[in-house]
Amino acid sequence: MEACLTRRRAGASLLQALLLLAQSLFAAAPQKDAGADMTAAREARDREAEQILDAYGNRILRLAYSYLHNMSDAEEVLQDTLMQFLKAAPVFQTEEHRKAWLLHVAGNLSKNRIDYNRVRDADELSEELTAENREDLRFVWEAVKALPVKYREVVHLFYYEGYSTAEVASVLHENEATVRSRLDRGREKLKQILKEAYDFG
């Protein structure tokens, strides 16, 4: 009788142990945590991407367009810049540093496209200015477009982004003296193209 009870008790405790073990293994709490981590990380990444697009999307797009003269290419550069940012997960002390990093990457990606001749032909901006009979603006745009890339990027960052020559040098990872020289040469070339219409004040 006692032996039978012991056997039954042993059987019950074995079943209980098995159930507990199976429960703990199937509970998959760590998996849930890992899943929650992944979801949280994905949401954080999405939020960051949206934040960058809201804060700097237009600036990156415009800089890319100034290099490539095409909206589809500029959009792809914006997308690639965002991907690079999320991949590199860089750390910045200030928002200005973040902006400079994004413009630097967007500039490099744009120049790569020019180097590999992957730029499309259509210049929507030029077409739009022509359609609206804004010859004054189209004249300026064509003149800036005609500048070599190294002058054009300096002109864009200096005049449009409002950067100082030191800041342009920082964005482009160039020497400030080189930037000043390129800015001077860019202005000279614009003078030659625009003649009396030149007034890059």
Partner 1 sequence: MTLAEKYAQIMDRIELTEAMRRRVLENVRGAAAEKKPIRFPNRRHWLAVAACLALLLLGALTLPKIAWGGSQEPSAETASGISECASAEELSRAVGFPVSDVTALPFAVTQTSYLNYWDQLAEIQYRGADGQSAFYRKSAGTEDNSGDYNEYPSARELTAGSVTAELRGSGERYTLACWTDGTYAYSLSLPQGADAAAWTEILAGVK
Binding site for partner 1 (CB under 8 A): 10-11, 14, 17-18, 21-22, 25-26, 28, 30-31, 33-34, 37-38, 41-42, 44-46, 49-50, 53, 57-58, 61-62, 65-66, 71, 74-75, 78-79, 82-83, 86-93, 97, 100-101, 104, 125, 128-129, 136-137, 140-141, 144, 155-156, 159-160, 170, 190, 194, 197-201
Distances (CA, A) of 110 to 37, 70, 96: 35, 11, 21
- CB closer to partner 1 out of 137 and 150: 137
Contact 56, 96 (CB under 8 A): no
Minimum distance from residue 157 beta carbon to partner 1 (Å)? 12
Minimum distance from residue 121 beta carbon to partner 1 (Å)? 17
How far apart (Å, rounded) are the C-alpha atoms in residues 111 and 129? 25
Minimum distance from residue 181 beta carbon to partner 1 (Å)? 19
- CB closer to partner 1 out of 32 and 114: 32
How far apart (Å, rounded) are the C-alpha atoms in residues 199 and 16? 88
- CB closer to partner 1 out of 42 and 118: 42
- CB closer to partner 1 out of 34 and 114: 34
Minimum distance from residue 46 beta carbon to partner 1 (Å)? 7
Tell me 117's DSSP state. Answer: T
141: nearest Cα among 153, 129, 154, 157: 129
Minimum distance from residue 91 beta carbon to partner 1 (Å)? 5
Contact 118, 68 (CB under 8 A): no
Q: Which residue has the tokens 């950067």?
A: 163
How far apart (Å, rounded) are the C-alpha atoms in residues 104 and 174? 11
- CB closer to partner 1 out of 111 and 161: 161
Which two tokens mark 70? 């095409």
Minimum distance from residue 2 beta carbon to partner 1 (Å)? 18
- CB closer to partner 1 out of 45 and 177: 45
Which two tokens mark 36? 């929650």
**DSSP letters for 67-87:** HH--HHHHHHHHHHHHHHHHH
